[in-house]
Amino acid sequence: MTRTGSSTPSPACIDSDRPADSDRGGRFPATIAAKPRPPSKLSIVPVLNPSRLANHTTLRLGGAPERLVEARDRDELIDLVRSADEQGTPLLLVAGGSNLVVADSGFAGTAALVRSHGVAVVEDDDQVTVTVQAGHPWDDLVAQAVTEGWSGIECLAGIPGSTGATPVQNVGAYGQEISEVFVSAEVLDRHTGQVSDFDTAACRFGYRDSAFKHTDRYVVLNATYRLTKSSLSRPIRYAETATRLGVSVGDAVPLARAREVVLELRRGKGMVLDAADPDTYSAGSFFINPVITTAEFEKLSSAVDVEPPHWPSGDGIKVPAGWLIGRAGFEPGYGHDGVAISGKHRLALTNRGDGTTTALLNLAREIRDTVAENLGVTMRPEPTIIGAKL
């Protein structure tokens, strides 16, 4: 059985698409199938009055682009990208803006607001396959899945942003990760102008990483996920979630309860947008939890008076970035020039309402360099930075 549906985006659910700079060469693994390219045509898309990109990012920072347009559906998005590339116009795609840091000077080119929405559902006996348009708010999909009894993404509740950004970042939280339910993504190749389907292997998922993340070559048009029909969550993996739920790691709980607890945890860390609370004006976690070698971990351990929290990650050891920031002497609420570390969570850098991107990056640089100097660990930023450098 096939059903289609759509929902209205919440202005607070904002997240971004990918970089305007970076690798434009090389080829990634073969895609499932390339689709014929139709004759090129210039779509008439709504041209908006250029406004500061601060109005379209969760940090509420960033200057205006030279031109601001809107792509209302998949076909408009394809035509817009192809036309910009044919004309040699720099293009920045903005869906939700939750993973985007834009320079105070704005963007020297066209910024396109991705507003393609909708969910197509195919059901079988015990699973559902959902294909979701790139601009569809992610948390709307999670809420729909919980209501419908689709298990697999309930612990990814409260993440601001668009569905198109989830495979790019291989979004994960509270014991669940996009790659676990991912089937394919429909992708526009900006080198060839062709549309293809990328399967899991072609996406090359890693920890908060994918084949899409470090290149502007590909544009995700929609993503397909396979969920399980169940009123219960997937086994709870995250200890903090299990403790709050009053269950053991590995237990399952009602979907609605799992989502509710995750939202509570996120709110407690300032990770759910609240227009009345500047402590939530952030890009989420600003630094990725670093993965270091055994030798680097031993060096870190000798530099502190306790064994650092850690867990295995591939061939390395992952250390919490928030813990490193604290050990380097930074307290929640520390900041200057209108920006600060969140009072709720050391990993979030916030705009207190009168900050600038320059001030935010100065604070991030201060934190990164102090951690490197005092603890010997280099931290990398998680959000995409446009028009500036860290």
Report the catalytic residues.
208, 285, 382
Please provide residue 87's backbone torsions phi and psi, each rounded to the nearest 5 degrees.
Answer: -90, -5
* Pair of tokens at residue 89: 């116009």
* Pair of tokens at residue 110: 């066209």
Instruction: Report CA dihedral (348, 112, 132, 284) to the nearest 10 degrees.
Output: 0
What distance in Å separates the CA atoms of residue 332 and residue 279, rounded to the nearest whole number?
11
Q: What is the DSSP letter of 330?
A: P
* Pair of tokens at residue 356: 């600038």
* Pair of tokens at residue 253: 């709980």
How many C-beta neighbours within 10 Å does residue 268 have?
Answer: 12
Query: Do residues 154 and 142 lie in contact, with contact meaning Cβ atoms separated by under 8 Å?
Result: yes
Please provide residue 363's backbone torsions phi and psi, each rounded to the nearest 5 degrees.
Answer: -65, -45
